[in-house]
Amino acid sequence: MTFLHALWHYPFLQIVMLAGLASAVASGVVGPLVVSRRIAFMAGGIAHSVLGGLGIAHWLGAPPLLGALLAAVVSALLIAFASLRARENEDMLIGALWAVGMAIGIIALAQAPGYSVNLMSYLLGSLMMATRDQVVLMLGLNALMLGLLWLSYRPLMATLFDPEFAALRGVPTGLLYSGFLVVVALAVVVLVYTVGLVMVMALVTLPAATARLGTARLPAMMLAASGAAMLAVVLGLAVAYAGDTPAGATIVLCAALLYLAGLLIRHLAQRQRRHTQPKGP
Partner 1 sequence: MAITSPPLLRLEKVAFSYADGAPVLRDVSYRLDAPRLVAISGPNGGGKSTLLRLIAGLLTPTRGDIQLLGGSIRQQRHRLGYVAQYPTLQADAPLSVRDIVAQGCLGARWWQRLDQADHARVDEALATLNIADLQRRTPRALSGGQRQRMLIARALAARPEMLLLDEPCAHLDHESGDGLLTTLAALATRLPILMVTHDLEQAWPHAGELLHVDRCLSRRSLTLPDIHPTAHGEAAHQ
Looking at 54, 127, 130, 171, which residue binds partner 1 (CB under 8 A)? 171
Looking at 40, 73, 112, 157, which residue binds partner 1 (CB under 8 A)? 157
Q: Scanning residues 214 to 233, which ones bind partner 1 (CB under 8 A)?
A: 216-218, 221
String of contacts with partner 1 for each residue 113-152, x by CB under 8 A: --------------------------------------xx
Write out 135-160 in H/E/C secondary structure.
HHHHHHHHHHHHHHHHHHHHHHHHHH
Residues 6+ apart with CB under 8 A from 79: 42, 45, 46, 90, 93, 94, 97, 181
Minimum CB separation from partner 1 for residue 224, in Å?
Answer: 12
Q: How does DSSP assign 47-97, residue by residue?
A: HHHHHHHHHHHHHHT--HHHHHHHHHHHHHHHHHHHHHH-GGGHHHHHHHH
Minimum CB separation from partner 1 for residue 155, in Å?
Answer: 5
Q: What are all long-range contacts of 81-86, with beta carbons under 8 Å and residues at least 24 apart?
A: 81/178, 83/42, 83/177, 84/174, 84/177, 84/178
By beta-carbon proximity to partner 1, the closer residue of 91 and 162 is 162
Which range binds partner 1 by CB under 8 A, 64-72, 75-83, 157-165, 271-279?
A: 157-165
By beta-carbon proximity to partner 1, the closer residue of 121 and 173 is 173
H helical segments located in the chain: 3-9, 11-36, 40-60, 64-85, 90-111, 115-124, 132-161, 163-168, 173-195, 200-212, 218-243, 247-276
Minimum CB separation from partner 1 for residue 165, in Å?
Answer: 6
By beta-carbon proximity to partner 1, the closer residue of 48 and 212 is 212
By beta-carbon proximity to partner 1, the closer residue of 119 and 224 is 224
- Under 8 Å between Cβ of 101 and 75: yes
Q: How many CB atoms lie within 10 A of CB 91?
A: 13
271 binds partner 1 (CB under 8 A): no
String of contacts with partner 1 for each residue 2-41, x by CB under 8 A: ------------------------------x---xx----
155 binds partner 1 (CB under 8 A): yes
Residues that bind partner 1 (CB under 8 A): 32, 36-37, 151-152, 154-155, 157-158, 160-166, 168-172, 212, 216-218, 221
